[in-house]
Amino acid sequence: MLNTPEIVLDQFCVSLRNGFLPDTLPLQKLNDPYYFPWEEVVADLPARLAAGNIRQAVDSLPILATSRLQEESEWRRAYVVLAFITHAYIWGGERPKDVLPPAVSCPILEVSKHLELPPCATYAALNLWNFKVSSPDIDLTDPDNLSIITTFTGTKDEEWFFMVSVAIEAKGADLITLMLNAIYAANLADHQRVTTLLYQLRDGLQELGEILERMYEKCNPSVFFYQLRPFLAGSKNMASAGLPQGVFYDLGGHGEWHQYSGGSNAQSSLIQTFDIFLGVEHSATGEAKVNSAPQSKPKIGYIQDMRNYMPGPHRRFLEMMIRTSNVRQFAMSYKADTEVRNAYNAAVMAVGAFRDKHIQMVSRYIITPSRTNPNQNSSAHVNLATVTAAKQVARPNDTPAGYSGTGGTDLIPFLKQTRDTTKAAAKYTD
């Protein structure tokens, strides 16, 4: 049984003020001169990628120890820097590079282990720990107030893309408190309080949807699809984009092949919290259906797998929510068309509506630009954008299936199944 949100949240690195964003602003630079070689590479990342010399810069890096990282903010900054370098190195050429040099492999494996994250560009690296503001007390729920620290392209489009997600996370902080209070109220069988909180959650989710739709203001679909999205791709299910075995993390004479999903909003602990709180259970694996022999072992759902791409404390918060959330059971103990059932259904449909907006956004930012010809420079490259566009040129009349997400999913069917599963949790009759 939960007592108060204050007691619960601290151990999970979740704050009443900022939710899953850090309670103090992310470190903008590692101040120890020892780590300046890393910082110098990411400071010039857009220019190096444009010039095509990022790999030479990374290959000349020394192997730096992580033992000088002290504060958690330093570990997080090191993770951001190394994650950006990793993906820039892999995808920053005409062909992807499937061997990561020791100067990156060694420290990112150590840093990611400390933070309980995979050694790649996750939602935490791209969003949660990669924003800055002009003053500490500024409103984080307005993306206009936010700026990006580290960037692949240096474009305002990229900054806006990430900062809209940061604003959603900030706005979601109040909803975390609200959900915890609803669980507590359900424990007390206070149906009126649960009803009120569920309607407040519905309203809050609608506000998140409004922030999401601000993406259209300052992020050009073509810039996103051809310039930014290729760097967000992972190394899992990326054979068609040039990584059939994933990426070899070279530790100096030895190492291992790794396959990881790329950065994805499915790695947002906030979005998964809504599902868990409402008792929505997703089973979609995100993989394209193929005619093959039955699997002896059922595959883990993609949504569940994405919890492995969250910071350890956030993952444990979700585990706590799975153990304690009782709101669906409580709502279903009341007959159809009662106040609490209607409030529960309204909250579920609000999550479904948020996912509808996301699907519409995917259509505009991925499907539509994939059907246009890339510029001459990018067409020589092999990456997630050019491979996707080439498929559409070859099969222009195909339905929007066969698109790969940055996480390696069969994108459109997966998103629609996730949306449909969400809405199906609403129950209007007994």
Quick count: other Cβ atoms within 10 Å of Cβ 120?
25
Q: In what order do the strands lie in the sheet with 247-250?
A: 99-100, 247-250, 255-258
Query: What is the DSSP track for 60-90?
Result: T-----STT--SHHHHHHHHHHHHHHHHHHH
358 is in an annotated binding site: yes
Three-state DSSP state, 59: helix
201, 353 in Cβ contact below 8 A? no
- Where does 261-301 have alpha helices with state H? 269-278
Quick count: other Cβ atoms within 10 Å of Cβ 323?
9
The full 3-state SS of 290-356, as one line of letters, equals: CCCCCCCCCCCCHHHHHHHHCCHHHHHHHHHHHHHCCHHHHHHCCCCCCHHHHHHHHHHHHHHHHHH
CA dihedral 309, 311, 314, 315 (to 10 degrees): 50
Query: Residues annotated in the binding site, as ranges?
Result: 358
Query: Residues annotated in the binding site for heme b, as ranges?
Result: 358
